[in-house]
Amino acid sequence: MAFSSRRGGWAHSLLPSSNSKSKIPRKGRKRTFIKDFFLANFFIIGLSLSIIFLLFVTFRYGVPKPLAFKSTNSRLPKFRKSVPRKPISPKVAAASGAAVDITTKDLYDKIEFLDKDGGPWKQGWVVNYKGDEWDSEKLKIFVVPHSHNDPGWKLTVEEYYDRQSRHILDTIVETLSKDVRRKFIWEEMSYLERWWRDASSTKKESFINLVQNGQLEIVGGGWVMNDEANSHYFAIIEQITEGNMWLNETIGVVPKNSWAIDPFGYSPTMAYLLRRMGFENMLIQRTHYELKKELSWNKNLEYIWRQSWDAEETTDIFVHMMPFYSYDIPHTCGPEPAICCQFDFARMRGFMYELCPWGEHPVETNQENVQARALKLLDQYKKKSTLYRTNTLLVPLGDDFRYISIDEAEAQFRNYQLLFDYINSNPSLNAEAKFGTLEDYFHTLRDEADRINYSRPGEIGSGQVGGFPSLSGDFFTYADRQLDYWSGYYVSRPFFKAVDRVLEQTLRASEMLIALLLANCHRAQCEKLPTGFAYKLTAARRNLALFQHHDGVTGTAKDHVVEDYGTRMHMSLQDLQIFMSKAIEVLLGIRQEKSDQTPAQLEPAQVRSKYDIQPTHRVINPPEGSAQSVVLFNPLEQTRNEVVMVVVNRPDVTVLASNWTCVKSQVSPELQHDKSKIFTGRHRLHWRASVPAMGLETYYIAVGFVGCEKAKPAKLKFATKSNHLPCPAPYSCSKLEGDTAEIQNRHQTLTIDVKLGLLQKISHKDGLQSVVGEEIGMYSSWGSGAYLFKPTGDAQPIIKGAGQLVISEGPLMQEVFSYPKTTMEKTPISHSTRIYNGEKNSIQEFLVEKEYHVELIGQDFNDKELIVRYKTDIDNSRIFYSDLNGFQMSRRETYDKIPLQGNYYPMPSLAFMQGPNGHRFSVHTRQSLGAASLKNGWLEIMLDRRLVRDDDRGLGQGVMDNRPMNVVFHILAESNISSTSNPVSNPLPFHPSLLSHSVGAHLNYPFHGFIAKKPQESTVQQPSRYFSPLASPLPCDLHIVTFKVPRPSKYSQQLPEGSRFVLMLHRRKWDSSYCRKGRSQCSSIADEPVNLFSMFKGIAVLNARATSLNLLHENTEMLGYNEQVGETAQEGPVLISPMEIQAYKLELRP
């Protein structure tokens, strides 16, 4: 519930007296007898009308159910229900999207981006005021002390804790306890949890008292302050939930105000998730300086953030944007940093911080100088206040790792209190200043907005908070000054961006298996394995959460800090995979001993030997007359038919299904990025696998099995200038003739440029032809660093010739592998282009797989940034769409008035272009990267960057720790089946097709493969081993975000009525102008309700309750959901609107 009690004081002292009677004009004359009758029978008439109204409501809506809402705090906040002023039909809403006052596209269209010098406020203007602005409503100033603690940046999280953060938390507790007027806010739970483990019981008690009496507010309360460009929405939910749940369990509060001062740009996904977690207000800082100026000029820095698809105002959340360059003290008191710096009392001589760079330094406040100093400070406050609509002002007071000592904290609190006392003792100043928390500020601001109408004529605003404009869109790409755009971090350290996503999908799969184990558990004995793993599961959740920090997944930390993040993720990946092996054995009935003690008989199909090395495939090598089992876990909610691959030591193998029937398979040579030895000597074995939704299936790789055909060897074709490519056994090889080559399946034909080894064209059997024009290029970038992308000119193509080209053609998979000749002596990239022949109309058949092996290592590549560019024939007018956090799409337009680097945008999982004819070209990625459309029909994606220099943003180093890595794309060329919108004229983001959503899901949630450590005799037939927990696959547009037991360690202590399981569902929104069934094996979509009670097979759902996305609120109305969400969950059938994520607490029994 509401975290901070709303305390008295200002709310009463500053409100104008309401004793004056309102003057109501007299009504016209009425007939006296009607008036007398009404007055005489007033009570009876009123009672009769009330009864009639009650009967009508009961008849229309039924008897209301009591709210099953349990507060974690005794005080309930005041929730304002969002009321759309005009009811909108769902069809109109879907077509029109949100109605808002401001879109970020409108801002970009309007702003000239001239970077005019504004004087003391360089990025603004000379701010003045008349002086009478506060005559009727006093200026209410909240100075909010804070300390920004990065969980890893120049030091590791543990180094920072030991040297700084633990001292800061000690200081806060001690100094706030001295004076009840002192306030503070804290954001990062990773540090608070670490401190809590070390703190004495006295310190803990003091901390809790400070929180309870409103002196100390926990804001955000996530494990970290997450990045918003690269982080996937699964990981964002995880990290906030991990922090919020720990906070609630330990201190008994749930935050309601978000504080994000340091992420490098902001995503509306964050606004949506926070709203659905029960947050009321947000604060943001790092947005483009020209946007800040435009919003400041129009007093629109505070607004209601609404999702672009939301026509009913259910996603509205209030946002405060800070107006100036930074969140440090020189840039927070007002528009003139040279003056504000004089009020950063930690910069006085004798402290460890640098003196003010403007030459005038802070001095101790005393009775002689307090008047002049207070008036000087108040002048800044008043100037800053003119940039906002209300007379309630927020002034943050802090910086990175501040308040590290008692002396420092006392210097700030002591001096400011003297200044406040002077201001408050002079009524003629029309101002009152005090220390405050975010809750103090937002509560007072909302009270003022309730009393005074700040709405502009014709403004749409919001039904939730009056007086402010509504806005939709995102805040990428961030620029803090001049032409310095922060688009480099979309790609920095791509190796670890990829590991992040592998950890996500492995954690999600492990959570599912824990839930399935406990749901199928009849007695306490089988609880041992999942509950015994609880400690390592918590560590995995927290290691993933930690990496979402805005200097973690961004790739903007020092080398040894990146190593620390990588080591933590690697350790958790190994722990999760070992657990998954054992859990799968239990679910398949292989493991009778249901504890953690005995070693697993299965091991993961992919092995990571070290934190910074690519995974390798475990080689299957069954002896003659034996078979080795391969178990596949499908973490998706639909049955999957897919061509899968394992690596074998010998080509003469056979694949058998779990019932020991024959499965057709293909074998082809394994290839590698090695000019002198393209073939490894091992073989890739492909076969078609079918695995039930969230289920398990077993296959056997046998040698010498009689009665089944062996894997069919692929046919090889070579194109090479040198003739040293030997033909590996048992394959037939031929030389490639001509300038082009083709590979094809039943739906598409790919044309390859043999001279360069690059993809030219995709031709579909239905007649659609898509020019792809693949090009690999390199930027030279002397000014780029971990944060900034600052190229010198355009990217130049680096491929000179095909070098070595190998085509493998088989019945299941066809591939073109190219190790090209480049303009550098050492080739930084090799790549494969693949298509598949799966089951008829399987998802795989419609995509093109591109796998790039990148090695940007060595001096040749210093200050180089590697890209792949697809130069298609789509007339997209340089408009493309990239995703935000894997959750929603955003429309991107290339502007000539901003530099190349400002036209690069984050691409966490998908980018696509579309022409006015409806032809669409999509690229799905399994890791976060950056993308742009710099010319008509072009889509370029950056793969890696190697940079010698620091880019002057505090890191103090370049990015030189590149690792060999593979980047995988799934490319889709689609044509519409009905009329589509024109990207040029439609400012709203387009949505992926249903097929595109499925392609993305398959890429980001692959099968988890496990191989038996020991082979078995192929003559002894094992029982059929599979597991299928769902009664039927879920609709194609419904995705299980997570299915888990939040606290497995407490599972046996919790009462079953407490609903120990959580199911979170996301309904994807898709573009219906492309094939409804996604041209694939899609059986249903989520237009009909899904019944939670009959979802599982062999598992009974005893109860279901809707909850917030951080699992801490059960009042669904306060989360913005419609009223039916909470009610229908209790009855079973749930209907989720497109784009919505909904969470349910369940109780399951076998």
64: tokens are: 């209301």
Q: How far is CA 587 from CA 260, 584, 1027, in A?
A: 43, 5, 7
Measured at the alpha carbon of residue 405, what is the angle toward residues 402 and 409, in degrees to the nearest 5? 65
- 12-50: buried (b, 16+ CB within 10 Å) or exposed (e) per residue? eebeeeeeeeeeeeeeeeeeeeeeeeeeeeeeeeeeeee
Report the C-alpha gap between 187 and 441 in whole angstroms: 16
Beta bridge partners of 741: 752
- 227-258: buried (b, 16+ CB within 10 Å) or exposed (e) per residue? bbbbbbbbbbbbbbbbbbbbbbeebebbbbbb
Element (H or E) spanning 976, and its range?
A: none
Report the C-alpha gap between 445 and 758 in whole angstroms: 59
Beta bridge partners of 320: 283, 302
Beta bridge partners of 471: 102, 305
Report the C-alpha gap between 946 and 933 in whole angstroms: 22
Report the C-alpha gap between 241 and 711 in whole angstroms: 47
Report the C-alpha gap between 810 and 195 in whole angstroms: 59
Cβ atoms within 10 Å of 575's Cβ, excluding its own: 19
Report the C-alpha gap between 256 and 262 in whole angstroms: 19
Three-state DSSP at 616 gives strand
Of 170, 227, 262, 863, catalytic? 262
912: tokens are: 């696509």
Q: How far is CA 887 from CA 258, 309, 893, 991, 1040, in A?
A: 20, 12, 20, 11, 13
Measured at the alpha carbon of residue 396, what is the angle toward residues 393 and 397, in degrees to the nearest 5? 130
Closest to 147 (Cα-Cα) out of 183, 199, 174: 183
1125 exposure class (CB count in 10 Å sphere: 0-12, 13-18, 19+): buried
Three-state DSSP at 249 gives helix
Q: Tokens 């309730």, residue? A: 450
4: tokens are: 């901070």
Q: Note whether 168 and 201 are within 8 A (CB).
A: no
Distance of CA 987 to the CA centre of its chain: 23
Report the C-alpha gap between 629 and 656 in whole angstroms: 9
* DSSP track, 723-754: S-----TT-EEEE--SSEEEEE-SSEEEEEET
Three-state DSSP at 261 gives coil
Strand ranges in 225-277 using DSSP code E only, listed in sequence order? 257-260
In one-letter notation, the amino acid at residue 411 is A
- Spell out the residues 6+ positions from residue 1095 whose beta carbon is closer than 8 angstroms to its own: 1030, 1031, 1034, 1101
Report the C-alpha gap between 945 and 965 in whole angstroms: 12
- Spell out the residues 6+ positions from residue 484 whose beta carbon is closer than 8 angstroms to its own: 788, 790, 951
Q: Note whether 963 and 973 are within 8 A (CB).
A: no
Q: Note whether 8 and 138 are within 8 A (CB).
A: no
Concerning whether 474 is annotated as a catalytic residue, the answer is no
Indicate which residues carry an active-site annotation.
Answer: 262
